[in-house]
Amino acid sequence: MRDVIRDSYFGHLLRFVYKPHYLRYAEEEDGFVIPKFDQTEEVKDGDRQMINTDSLPSVRGVDLHLVAWYGPKDSENPRNWTLGKKCYVVFLIMILTTTVYIGSAIYSPALEQASEYFDVSTTVGSLGISLFVAGYGVGPLFLSGPSEVPAIGRTSIYIITLFIFFVLNILTALVTNFAGFCILRFLAGFMGSPALATAGASLDDMFPAHKLAYSMGFWGLAAEAAPAMAPIISGFVVEHHGWRWAFWEMTIMSGFSLIVLFFTLPETSPDTILLRRAQRIRQKNGNWQYQSQSEITHAALPYRQIVVDSLLRPIALTCTEPIIIAINLYTGLVYATLYSFFESFPLVYEHGYGWSLGVSTLPFAALFIGSFIGWVIYCYWNLKWVDIPYEPAALRPAPETRLPTAFIGAFCFPTCVLWFAWTAIRCHWIAPVLSGIPFGMGSTLMWASVLIIFQSTYPRYAASALASNDFFRSMMGAGIPIAAHPLFNNLGVAWGNTIIGILGVAMIPIPFVLYRAGPWLRKKSKIAL
């Protein structure tokens, strides 16, 4: 626990104030001898390569001593952390992700009350959902890049943006005009986006390729289940205390997350960890020639190039990579369908079956149950066909080997929507409620598969690929709350959902086509492996 606190944002602030008197690193202890950095170093894809670290020519034309890990079992290397520490960090990232994702749909039960308070229609009032989702779709284009800069790291981005997110939720709970409400909702989504776009990179820092699927799947469970649980969390309190309490709940949750992460979330970026190690060594012996690889690399990159790459590369990938385009279309439709439920569920359970506001949110629990079942299926499949046969010396398996679970998800998605469409209000309430289980299963199986595909197909540009996916599906998710109200009012719940279900049927071939054509598409790409 001492190492966790030392490496947290709080630990670094404490060390900054009191210098290295508290929570010292090995380099700051008396009698520390700088080792000769000449070793085998583990790289992210699990392969091993030899690097000569005695000295490297820098961009300044002088010899630099490259600071690396203290051997293959260096305890500061995130890949070498204990399983308990890794699981704890995954748990913290899930808390962060859940807090932000809940923020998108926690407003759903408060929509009618808030619309009445601001004197706007419910269609206009749904901007409170749409703008938040749009905010965390746009956010990664600006905030993912800085998290890759070693001098900043991932933890700083998490903590600073989460603090602003916390303040914005307080302001949202107090706002008195609709324009201000809309601006605050967009900014809250924008500031919460690192939890959605950078979390995958944090997990990749800690786990090798054949183990990454478990943590990615578990994190994906939080990302998928949180919006489904949000209406349940706020439904009863909104019913009894008013719409503002949805945001007071968000303030409480984000404040709790901020405290826990501030004191115990360590930095996971290897580049940032090694950069700080190099800084400590230079401070210890006064020799500025000790530098990390990231310092040398970034010294040769103009700031303008870093900014342009972080902003434009996700958009370029969205427009030029067929694999990314196909996955974005599918996940975007799943995401849009999820947010359409926030419009159709109240029509069915509150107005159709006559349930109270709080009780009418309980059917969202079926989506969570389905998501958990999907995660268990995915973990079992990964253990049976990926983890156990894994051979470190063998060639890395093709990214398409991750897709079979998506085959199941492809059929679960339209099954749920059509099932819900033609049982809602026509049958006993248990029938449409149970339809949410296959949706949760399908979305988790699909989401867990594509997360790994992005990491394995575009390892060099994984952050940009994830930002591209986050932007695309968020834009589709942001548009559906506005479109869903007239869709269901004009066509009814049955035919409105039937249209969405037919789109889901049309998307079924996508994972099968990617499985067969994936190798050919990767071969044609200039950046895919």
The full DSSP string for 92-124 is HHHHHHHHHHHHHHTTGGGHHHHHHHHT--HHH
Contact present, 340 and 484 (Cβ < 8 Å): yes
DSSP annotation of 41:
E
- pLDDT tens per residue across span 411-459: 999 999 999 999 999 899 999 999 999 999 998 888 888 777 887 888 7
Angle at 423 between CA 419 and CA 426, to 5 degrees: 170
Res. 190 pLDDT band, cuts 50 70 90: very high
Neighbouring residues of 213: CB distance < 8 A, sequence distance ≥ 6 = 378, 379, 382, 386, 387, 402, 448, 452
pLDDT > 90? residue 224: no
pLDDT > 50? residue 43: no
pLDDT more than 70, % of the chain: 90
Q: What is the pLDDT of residue 267?
A: 92
pLDDT > 80? residue 35: no
Secondary structure of residue 25 in the 3-state scheme: coil
Q: In the beta sheet, which residues pair with residue 42?
A: 48
Structural domains of the chain sorted by starting position, each given as residue range(s) with its CATH number in brackets: 1-20+77-268 (1.20.1250.20), 303-528 (1.20.1250.20)
pLDDT > 70? residue 310: no
The closest alpha carbon to 136, from 484, 462, 473, 483, belongs to 473
User: Dihedrals φ, ψ of 482, to 5°?
Assistant: -75, -40
pLDDT > 60? residue 57: no
Mean confidence (pLDDT) of the chain: 85
pLDDT > 70? residue 308: no
- Segment among 162-166, 377-381, 494-498 with least mean pLDDT: 377-381
Res. 164 pLDDT band, cuts 50 70 90: very high
Q: Which two tokens stand for residue 376?
A: 């268990």
Q: Which residue has the higher pLDDT, 183 or 390?
A: 183
Q: What is the pLDDT of residue 528?
A: 82
Q: What is the pLDDT of residue 44?
A: 43
- Segment among 15-19, 43-47, 458-462, 481-485 with least mean pLDDT: 43-47
Res. 359 pLDDT band, cuts 50 70 90: very high
